[in-house]
Amino acid sequence: MGLGFSFKATIPARRFSGIFAKETNWKAVIESAVAQVAENYGTEFLIPPYGSAGQIAAHYCEEWLDFEQRDGAIMLSGRTSTCGPGYHAFMIDVIDQLKKTYKLEFAEDDENLDETGYFSDRNFSDLQQQHANWLKAVASGVLGNAREGADSQMISLPIDVIVQSGSAGTVLTPHGPIELKELKQIEAASNPLLLDLAAGWFPWWDRSPSALDWVRTAKTLMWVDVPWHVPAGENETHLMSAAIKCSKLAKSADPAVDRPVKEMRELEFLLRSGTAKSTIPSAEGIGYRRRLCTRYVGSGWSCEIPGYWYEFQDDDNWGLTFGGQQMWVSSYTVERNTDGDKPLELSELKDDETEILQFDVGNLRYRLSKRTDLTEDEGFVYVLQVTRLDGFLIITFAGNDAELEASIPQIARSVKSPDRSLG
C-alpha cells in the first residue's frame, strides 16, 4: 500500500522545432528532465548514478520510477509515500517540464492518475494531508497485524533490504526501528498533531527541502542505504557523500538544527583515502548495516551476518567477504521432494570433513562440517548444507579469524527459508 502516480503520454507524431530525432530515447529524455528539475531544487546529488532498463532513479529515498515505452506511448509510474509530499510535488514538476519542453501530455484516466489529486488541483497542503492520512492508515494496519501476533514488521522497506532482525514490539522503518507505542500515537492522532507527526516521518515534507528535511534525508540514507564500510566503488562513494552533503545543507539552512554529527564524521573517515577496508564500524549509532543483519542470499534463503560485509562476484560464484574472511554462497531450486513433507536428503559427508552439527527444524535440514585436511596456517574451511522440500543451499566459510570461526555455528542456525510446504 502506498501513494503514487501513474501516467500515460502519447509520443508526438511529428517533430517539434527540430527537437526530436526519428528514434528518440524517451527514457533518456525523462532522466534529463528529472536531473534538470532536481538541480532547481538542489537535490541533484540525491539521484543514484546508476539505473536499469525499465526504471528511472530520481531520489535515493524512494523506489525507482517504472518506465515503459510501447505502442507509440510512454508509461511512467512511481510511488511517493516513502519520500513524502515534497518528492511527490517534485515529480509532478518533472511531468510539467516534459510537457513544456517535449510536448508530452501526461493525461489522467481511469487507470492512469495521480492518487493524491495533486496533479489536477496543485494544492500542496492537501498533498501533505494525503500523506499524513496514509501514514495513519499504515499505523493502524501494522497495529492490527501486531494484535494478531505478527512480528518482524517493516514499513516502506523492500522485502530484501539489509536490516537487523526485528524484535517483538518494534517495527523497522526507513528512519530506524520504532516501538509500537509510536504507531499508536499516530493512529490516535488528529490534526494538527497528525500533521506534526507526519512532518517528522517523511524525508521530504516541505515544498522545497527545509533544514529538517535535509536532516531526515541524511538519517534515512544512513539507516537504510549506507553500507558502513569503506566504499566499494563509485556508487557507494556517491551515496555516502550524499548523506554527508545533506547534513551540511541542513546546517547551512539552520545552524541550530540537530544533525547526526557523530555518524557524519564516521562516514568522512570511511571515505578518507587510506582507510583500511577491514575497518569495522561502530556498533552504536544510526545505520542498520553496522550491526548483525538479515542478508538474503538467493532463492529465498537468508542468514544473519554483519550488514557491513562486502558482496563479491567471481564468475558464477557469489558471496560475502570482510577482512580476508569469505562466505561463498550457492543456492538451487529443484523439483519438490515427493517423500511426504521431508526436506531433501543431504549429500554424503566427504572423507576430509568432520560433522560439527546436524539437525532438522520444520521443513529444513541442516549440516555444518569442517575440513580436516588444513593446517592452522592455512586457516579453516567450513561447509554448511541446508535443504528444504524444493531446494538446497551451500555456504562455504573460509578464513583465519577466530571470532568468525566461533560464530559460524550461530550463522548456520540462523539460515531460514520461506515455508513452501503448502506451495
Segment 64-101, tens digit of pLDDT = 999 998 878 889 999 999 999 999 999 999 999 999 99
Q: What Cα–Cα distance (Å) separates residue 134 from each residue in 46, 88, 138?
A: 24, 14, 6
Q: For residues 413 and 94, give the distance between their C-alpha atoms in angstroms, rounded to a whole number.
A: 49
* Three-state DSSP class for residue 310: strand
Provide mean pLDDT across the span 149-177.
Answer: 86
- Which pLDDT score is estimated for 313? 87
User: What pLDDT, on the 0 to 100 scale, is given for residue 299?
Assistant: 87
**What pLDDT, on the 0 to 100 scale, is given for residue 1?**
62
Assign 103 a pLDDT band (cuts: 50, 70, 90): confident
Beta strands in 185-257 (DSSP E): none
Q: What is the pLDDT of residues 23-41, one digit of tens each?
A: 678 899 999 999 999 999 9
The mean pLDDT value for 157-180 works out to 87
User: Is pLDDT at 10 greater than 90 in this prediction?
Assistant: no
User: Residue 335: its pLDDT value, please?
Assistant: 76
State what percent of residues in the chain have pLDDT above 90: 74
Backbone angles phi, psi at 211, to 5 degrees: -60, -45
In tens, the pLDDT along 347-396 reads 999 999 999 999 999 889 999 999 999 988 899 999 999 999 989 999 99
Mean pLDDT to the nearest integer, 190-214? 97
As a whole number, the mean pLDDT across the chain is 91
Confidence at residue 339, expressed as pLDDT on a 0 to 100 scale = 62
362-378: string of b/e by CB count within 10 Å (b at 16+)?
ebbbbbbbbbeeeeeee
* Mean of pLDDT values over 234-258: 97
pLDDT score recorded for residue 342: 84
pLDDT interval class at 248 (50, 70, 90): very high
Would you state the pLDDT for residue 423?
A: 31
| 65-70, strands of its sheet edge to edge | 4-10, 73-79, 65-70, 55-56
From CA 73, how far away is CA 107, in angstroms rounded?
A: 12
Q: Which three cell numbers stand for residue 271?
A: 571515505
Question: CA–CA separation, 340 vs 114, rounded Å?
Answer: 50
Reported pTM? 0.91
Q: Which of 93, 75, 100, 92 is nearest to 11 (CA)?
A: 75
Q: At residue 22, does pLDDT exceed 50?
A: no
Asked whether the predicted pLDDT for residue 284 surpasses 80, the reply is: yes
Between CA 183 and CA 169 the distance in angstroms is 11
* Other C-beta atoms lying within 10 Å of the C-beta of residue 360: 11
What's the pLDDT score for residue 104?
Answer: 86
CA 113-117-120 angle, 5° bins: 85
Q: Given this model, what pLDDT does residue 13 score? A: 58
Q: Is the pLDDT of residue 18 over 90?
A: no
| Confidence (pLDDT) at 122 | 96
Cell of 370: 569442517
pLDDT at 298: 86
- DSSP 8-state secondary structure symbol assigned to residue 224: I
pLDDT in tens, 288-347: 999 999 999 988 899 999 999 999 988 777 999 999 999 999 998 887 756 667 889 999
Lowest mean pLDDT among 134-143, 159-168, 199-208, 348-357: 159-168
Which pLDDT does position 421 carry in this prediction? 36
Q: How far apart are the first and last CA of the chain?
A: 24
